[in-house]
């Protein structure tokens, strides 16, 4: 089996990178020194509990004492409009102050503002500079995004080796997207020596973390015994999970598994059902077309009914 996910690197060179975006969740916990300060802890605790006015008041007090973490928190409140009217200009001002004081989270947030054109014109070069500064200070998402920029070769000269270093930094910190990206580089031998065992290991980590593309890649590697001991049963179970999560590739591979009866019992109705679902997502498979045409009409009708029922439960894409 193969998967189009393996062309990640080639696609990354032709398209704009999909940068990690700051999640609308509480900022990372403050460093140990700040946690020890009850006032700083009060601001973050209030934020995490949804008491945004209290967080605003406490963070404002701390910011007046040049606390960069509090400045970043204020930027987050204004950026998301939590407890205050949403205001990108004020958010950027607080992020800039925090970044000037060396706060890596503020650097990353400000980089995203430059990417999105919030609080001013889009500025890819400034975003890249801020990502580099944040990554140097150990910011995981910044390292991943910076790796994408080196992979693409726009703000920086294309450098697969540097991209791999940055992906490794983020992967070691548990970033599933970076684990998947680095695994693909090991699989293709770009920026690192080709190593299918390392690729499978990293795919496995990203898969456990919930990365859908990694689930599919890892399942295929496990089914074929590529860089990992062959286990068709475990691979089929993982393909089923990925198929239910909406991966057209997993749906197609699961249909093949059910057609052949490898990894799970053969089931023509289920095989055709997943083939229909995967085709609706744009994934063609002539072999499955032939298989479906050879089945009794009752089997095809049951499969089509099951596929329509499954697809009717999907939330329409915006």
pTM: 0.83
Question: Each residue's pLDDT tens digit in the chain (318 positions)?
Answer: 333 333 333 333 333 344 565 544 434 444 433 333 455 578 889 999 999 999 999 999 999 999 999 999 999 999 999 999 999 999 999 999 999 999 999 999 999 999 999 999 999 999 999 999 999 999 999 999 999 999 999 888 999 999 999 999 999 999 999 999 999 999 999 999 999 999 999 999 999 999 999 999 999 999 999 999 999 999 999 999 999 999 999 999 999 999 999 999 999 999 999 999 999 998 899 999 999 999 999 999 999 999 999 999 876 554
Please count the CA atoms within 13 angstroms of the CA of 237 that sit on its side-chain side: 4
In terms of Cβ atoms closer than 10 Å to its own Cβ (0-12, 13-18, 19+), residue 75 is: buried
Task: Give the separation between CA 37 and CA 164, rounded to whole angstroms.
Answer: 38
pLDDT at site 36: 37
What domains can be seen in the chain, in order of their start residue? 17-168 (1.25.40.10), 240-312 (no CATH)
Please report the pLDDT score of residue 155 as a whole number. 86
Tokens (6 digits) for 134: 């944040």
Cα–Cα distance for residue pair 198/227, rounded to 1 Å: 7
C-beta of residue 20 within 8 angstroms of C-beta of residue 131: no
Cα–Cα dist 184/230, whole Å: 19
Q: Mean pLDDT, the chain, as a whole number?
A: 88
Cβ contact 207:218 at 8 Å: yes
CA distance linking residue 193 with residue 188, whole number of Å: 9
Q: Are 153 and 159 in contact (CB under 8 A)?
A: yes
- In this structure, what token pair is assigned to residue 26? 């509480």
Residue 69 has which token pair? 């973490």
């Amino acid at each position: 089996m193969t998967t189009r996910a393996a062309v990640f690197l080639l696609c990354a060179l032709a398209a704009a990178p999909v940068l990690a975006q700051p999640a609308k969740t509480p900022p990372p916990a403050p460093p140990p020194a700040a946690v020890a300060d009850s006032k700083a802890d009060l601001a973050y605790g209030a934020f995490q509990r949804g008491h945004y006015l209290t967080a605003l008041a406490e963070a404002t007090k701390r910011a007046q004492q040049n606390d960069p973490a509090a400045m970043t928190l204020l930027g987050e409140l204004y950026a998301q409009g939590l407890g205050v009217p949403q205001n990108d200009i004020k958010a950027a001002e607080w992020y800039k102050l925090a970044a000037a004081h060396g706060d890596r989270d503020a650097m990353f947030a400000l980089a995203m503002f430059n990417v999105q054109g919030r609080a001013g014109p889009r500025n890819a070069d400034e975003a890249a500079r801020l990502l580099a500064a944040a990554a140097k200070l150990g910011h995981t998402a910044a390292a991943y995004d910076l790796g994408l920029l080196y992979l693409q070769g726009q703000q920086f000269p294309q450098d697969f080796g540097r991209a791999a270093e940055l992906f490794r930094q983020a992967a070691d910190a548990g970033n599933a997207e970076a684990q998947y990206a680095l695994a693909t580089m090991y699989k293709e031998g770009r920026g690192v020596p080709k190593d299918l065992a390392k690729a499978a290991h990293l795919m496995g980590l990203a898969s456990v973390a919930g990365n859908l593309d990694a689930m599919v890649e890892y399942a295929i590697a496990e089914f074929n015994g590529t860089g990992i001991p062959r286990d068709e049963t475990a691979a089929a179970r993982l393909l089923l999970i990925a198929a239910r999560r909406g991966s057209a590739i997993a749906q197609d591979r699961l249909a093949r598994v059910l057609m052949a009866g490898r990894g799970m019992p053969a089931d023509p109705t289920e095989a055709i059902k997943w083939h229909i679902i995967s085709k609706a997502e744009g994934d063609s498979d002539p072999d499955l077309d032939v298989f479906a045409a050879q089945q009794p009409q009752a089997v095809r009708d049951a499969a089509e009914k099951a596929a329509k029922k499954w697809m009717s439960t999907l939330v329409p894409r915006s």
